[in-house]
Amino acid sequence: MSITLAILLAAPAASPSESVTQTAQGQSPAPAADQDPASVPETETGAAWRLGPAQQGGGDIVVTARRRAETVQSVPIAMSVIGGEALAETGAYNVNRLTQLQPTLQFYSTNPRNSAANIRGLGAPFGLTNDGIEQGVGIYVDQVYYSRIASATFDFTDTERIEILRGPQGTLYGKNTTAGAINITTRRPSFDPEARVEVSGGNYEFFQGKFSVSGPIVADVVAARISGSITTRRGTVYNTLQREWQNSQDNVGLRGQMLFRASPDLDVTLFADYNRQNPNCCVQYYARVGTTQRPVSRQFADLSAAFGYAPPSTNAFDRLTDVDTDLRAEQELGGASALANWTLGSGTLTSVTAWRFWHWNPSNDRDFIGLPITPVSANPSQQSQFTQEIRYASDTKGPVDYTVGAFYFYQTIDTQGLQSQGSAASRFLLNPGNPPFGPNGCATPTTAACNPAVLNGLTSRNTIGFKNTSAALFGKLTWQAADRLEIAPGLRVNYDKKEGDYVATVTNGSGSPVLTNDQRGVLAPQSYQPEFDNWNISGDITVSYDFTPDIHYYATYAHSYKSGGINLSGLPLDAANNPILAVQTIDPETVNHFELGLKTQFWDRRATVNLAAFWTEIDDYQATVNNQQVGVLRGYLANAGKVRTRGIEVDSAFRPVSGLNLYINGAYTDAKYVRFVDAPCPPELSGGPAAAPGQRPGPAGVPGAISPPSCDISGQVLPGVSKWAFSYGAEYGIPTSIAGREGQVYIGYDGSYRSRFSSNPSPSAYTWVDGYALSNFRLGFKRDDGLNLFAWLRNAFDDDYYELLATQSGSTGLIVGQPGDPRTWGFTLSAAF
């Protein structure tokens, strides 16, 4: 089983006079749901989000996780809240960096499109992205659902707080998500003029600038806010062939809001944003080599020797590569939305209308080395989405509170895929013939593998269309069954429809569509039109009990679904190299989730310790698989039987003395395949001749051995999940005066640890990422008037670690990696006026 420590991160603690509203102690009431923070006193909201865990100062953080304003400690959900100033001081300026603060959040990205956010090991299949399925972790910004996980790579701009909700969501708002949600709330327009500015600089030519300006346009009627950010950094990996730094950062974002108070009962906020990212990114490169079941002459060492090739370094932490394709990870994303709140009767009617776009223009080197094997593999894509949500939530606290709503989602994606093989592809991807081999590793010089012309110039051009429609009715009821007892059932009725159109046209090096069987085995023409539609009913029930005003218990059961999907990255081929049309679609995931939680505050509310234990089972788990095609770069989707994740999480924060904040968050997560009998095999069991029916496969990692057609990985771990993960830290501040200015000198430390995890869908001896610990420090002076100057040091001990590992196509045994950032340092100056 598993337990969750559910509190926040420690930034400078508030004094009791700065803490947020003391609703749990019966003092000031919390603001109404979606109430404009500009109308709420500073002691109720502003200090909380600047300071992070206001519990450490004796107060409560007001959140809207259940679409009504409540204190975080009273919400019967495993959740964490991180404030805007805490984000800045810890350097967590995007979702990827949040993983160092929240142990059960995992984020993996080889480029913005191929990104995945998981909570408790669940969310999206590990590997290259397939547009035909849903993400299990929902990303919401100002109540707008972001359908593309690539959106999570943007820099946080003018952020008030981030709420990370763990476990199935969907009976309260938005898109159904089976693993959790990340709710990002930006600062709202203010009727009092204000401005904020933040500038950072550091090594690797790092620069980040942020600003926001807000104030009234028409007194008490119209207010506006505009904010923006820019981030640039030189790359951390040097390309010895192209003589340039790669894996850089180049991000620009702009956001505007306008608040209209049409009447005391009606307000409307208009949002618009635009983000552009154009880094020289993203490269994975040589990490190690393991033996597969290919013949020795077809493994990486011999293949490289045949070309006289050697990577620039066999130590990935020398940060050298020689990929021979220009890299690009250009994306544009943005949109507009309208949020309306209308007090109607005894509740609030909320409407969220939004349109968003995402344009992706990549360039990748998918052989990961300086030989022309697969120099072109790119899927430029244009996405548009429209969402409409309407909710009605009761405002007054009574025996029965409720939220009911409807949600509509429509998305279109157009993709123009391109993959091209180079002059070294034949040797790397095709069988060289039967032994005995000559000195060049070929049975005869005329075999396809020894003829570069067979695959050189082989090109697949893919035209992919996708339409995704989803609609739902949902509701949540909270019944005050007794003085301290609440029972909260929820229900969701959901309809999903997906339609696709996939056409792959393949030509050889002469531009002819007439292909040999060897060529079709690497890139095959395909044309199919998958469709999927399904109704389902989800539900949950939570029972919560308040032992005291500061000790809260809850138990939750949820039965949920993750929509079925369609394969939009090409289909596997049969023995005749024709697409297998039977796997065009995949079934929905069925989720059964159990959770127990305990939220406590004690020691005069200077200590907060939250626990959660969860057990989640998923039938028809959606996984990325392959069928041993040597040229397959993008696996296809299939249902993988059953998985289970269970664990224990703990979030805690302490303020033992004035000025000192401590926190520790921990998670034990046991995530396994319960049943997956026909999984793709790991590299050490791949590459040899396929076993015939009844034939026994050979030993793992032995060249020339017979390979199984699939592997039973039941009982093995899910990829990307560390069994143990922690985040911890402290900050100590001393009131002082510098140059006549009152403020606080502070020193802070933030650390994180992850135990080893598998970086391959099927666990492999070659793709375990070793556990690692990171340490970050900061030292600064914060004035009472809002000026904050601090120096920071991240990955202070320059630890070498991988964010992920992957295999080269073709079972050559090459393992490529993506190292995490080295030691970085710099300074940040921020001010609020």
Domain assignment of residue 513, yes or no: yes
Per-residue pLDDT at 5: 30
pLDDT over 70 for what percent of the chain? 88
Q: Decide if pLDDT at 755 tops 60.
A: yes
Residue environment code for 235-267, b if the CB has 16+ CB neighbours within 10 A, otherwise e: bbbbbeebeebbbbbbbebbbbbbbbbeeeeeb
Per-residue pLDDT at 444: 64
pLDDT category, 25, cuts 50, 70, 90?
very low
What is the DSSP annotation of 22-86?
A: -GGGT-SPPPPTT--GGGS-TTTTHHHHHHS-GGGGT---EE-TTSS-EEGGGSSS-EEEEEHHH
| Nearest C-alpha neighbor of 541 from the set 478, 597, 453, 468 | 478
Domain assignment of residue 451, yes or no: no
- Which residue matches tokens 């508030």? 14
- Which residue matches tokens 């032994």? 435
Distances (CA, A) of 379 to 148, 300, 413, 468: 15, 27, 11, 19
Per-residue pLDDT at 629: 46
**Residue range(s) defining the domain that contains residue 558:** 3-422+457-832
Q: Decide if pLDDT at 6 tops 60.
A: no
Range list of β-strands (E), 220-303: 222-233, 237-239, 244-246, 249-263, 266-277, 285-289
Per-residue pLDDT at 397: 72
CA distance 171 to 245: 47
Q: Spell out the SS3 assignment of 716-742.
A: CECCCCCCEEEEEEEEEEEEEEECCEE
Q: Decide if pLDDT at 19 tops 60.
A: no
Of residues 71 and 821, the one with the higher pLDDT is 821
Q: Which two tokens stand for residue 23?
A: 């609703």
What is the tens place of the pLDDT at every residue in 173-228?
Answer: 788 888 999 999 999 999 999 999 999 999 999 999 999 999 999 999 999 999 99
Domain assignment of residue 431, yes or no: no
Distances (CA, A) of 441 to 427, 433, 437: 10, 9, 5
Q: Decide if pLDDT at 53 tops 50.
A: no
CB of 676 within 8 A of CB of 714?
yes
β-strand pairing of 144-146 with 137-141: antiparallel
Which DSSP letter does residue 163 get? E
CA distance 32 to 707: 63
Domain assignment of residue 587, yes or no: yes
Q: Decide if pLDDT at 466 tops 80.
A: yes
Across residues 460-467, what is the average pLDDT? 95
Task: Look at residue 660 and give its three-state secondary structure.
Answer: strand
pLDDT over 90 for what percent of the chain? 63
Across residues 304-319, what is the average pLDDT? 95
pTM over 0.75: yes
Across residues 49-77, what is the average pLDDT? 56
Domain assignment of residue 390, yes or no: yes
CA angle (612 as vertex; 472, 15 as ends), nearest 5: 100
Of residues 259 and 47, the one with the higher pLDDT is 259
Per-residue pLDDT at 128: 63
Per-residue pLDDT at 434: 59
Which DSSP letter does residue 521 get? H
Per-residue pLDDT at 623: 84
Kindly report the CATH number assigned to the domain that includes residue 629: 2.40.170.20
Across residues 91-110, what is the average pLDDT? 84
Domain assignment of residue 556, yes or no: yes
What is the DSSP annotation of 336-371?
A: EEEEEEEEETTEEEEEEEEEEEEEEEEE--TT-SSS
pLDDT category, 23, cuts 50, 70, 90?
very low
CB of 177 within 8 A of CB of 139?
no
Q: Decide if pLDDT at 805 tops 80.
A: yes
Q: Return the top range by mean pLDDT from 31-45, 176-190, 631-645.
A: 176-190
Of residues 446 and 721, the one with the higher pLDDT is 721
Per-residue pLDDT at 31: 37
pLDDT category, 812, cuts 50, 70, 90?
very high
What is the tens place of the pLDDT at every residue in 764-795?
Answer: 999 999 999 999 999 999 988 889 999 999 99
Of the candidate ranges 67-71, 236-240, 310-314, 785-789, the one whose mean pLDDT is the lowest? 67-71
Per-residue pLDDT at 761: 87
CA distance 724 to 721: 9
Per-residue pLDDT at 552: 95
Q: Decide if pLDDT at 508 tops 90.
A: yes
Q: How many domains does the chain have?
A: 1
What is the tens place of the pLDDT at every residue in 577-588?
Answer: 777 888 899 899
| Nearest C-alpha neighbor of 566 from the set 504, 469, 638 | 638
Q: Taking the CA atoms of 680, 686, 691 and 697 in sequence, report the sign of the dihedral they define.
A: negative
Count of C-beta atoms within a 10 Å radius of residue 180: 25
Q: Decide if pLDDT at 413 tops 70.
A: yes
What is the tens place of the pLDDT at every residue in 103-113?
Answer: 988 888 888 88
Residue environment code for 133-148, b if the CB has 16+ CB neighbours within 10 A, otherwise e: bbbbbbbbbbbbbbbb
What is the tens place of the pLDDT at every residue in 336-358?
Answer: 999 999 999 889 999 999 999 99
CB of 584 within 8 A of CB of 594?
no
Per-residue pLDDT at 265: 94
Helix (H) or strand (E) holding 290: none
Q: Decide if pLDDT at 142 tops 60.
A: yes
pLDDT category, 2, cuts 50, 70, 90?
very low
Domain assignment of residue 732, yes or no: yes
Of residues 98 and 682, the one with the higher pLDDT is 682
Residue type, 357: F
Helix (H) or strand (E) holding 410: strand 400-420
| Nearest C-alpha neighbor of 710 from the set 757, 674, 762 | 762
